[in-house]
Amino acid sequence: MSDTITAEDPLSGEEIELPADVEVGEIIDSPATGAELEVVSLDPVTLEEAPELEEDWGE
């Protein structure tokens, strides 16, 4: 069994390696673009650009 899996970077189209134990909702840094990507599916592994976190001022 492999310790890594591959997925396509949605911004560059390049194949990138991810840890085999990656989970849905996990944020990873793309080695190709440096952007933050979110794992949205595991079968197949699908990545999307992570949403920007907004300030929460308790309102």
* Domain of residue 42, residue span: 4-49
Residue 51 has pLDDT above 90, yes or no: no
Rounded mean pLDDT, 15-36:
94
pLDDT at 35: 94
Evaluate whether residue 44 is within a structural domain.
yes
Better-scored residue on pLDDT, 56 or 39: 39
Nearest 5°: phi and psi at 57? -95, 15
Task: Name every residue whose Cβ is closer than 8 Å to that of residue 18 and which is 6 or more positions away in sequence.
Answer: 4, 5, 6, 7, 28, 39, 45
Residue 16: inside a domain: yes
Token pair in block for residue 31: 């080695």
Tell me the mean pLDDT in the region 45-50: 95
Q: What is the CATH number of the domain that holds 27?
A: 2.20.28.160
Q: What is the mean pLDDT of residues 29-56?
A: 89
25 pLDDT tier (thresholds 50, 70, 90) = very high
Mean pLDDT of the chain: 89
Instruction: Give the other-Cβ count within 10 Å of 22's Cβ.
Output: 16
Total number of domains in the chain: 1
Asked if the structure places residue 55 within a domain, the reply is no
Question: Is 54 part of any domain?
Answer: no
Residue 36 in any domain: the answer is yes
Q: Evaluate the CA torsion angle 11, 15, 17, 18 in order and state its sign.
A: positive
22 inside domain: yes
Please report whether residue 58 resides in a domain. no
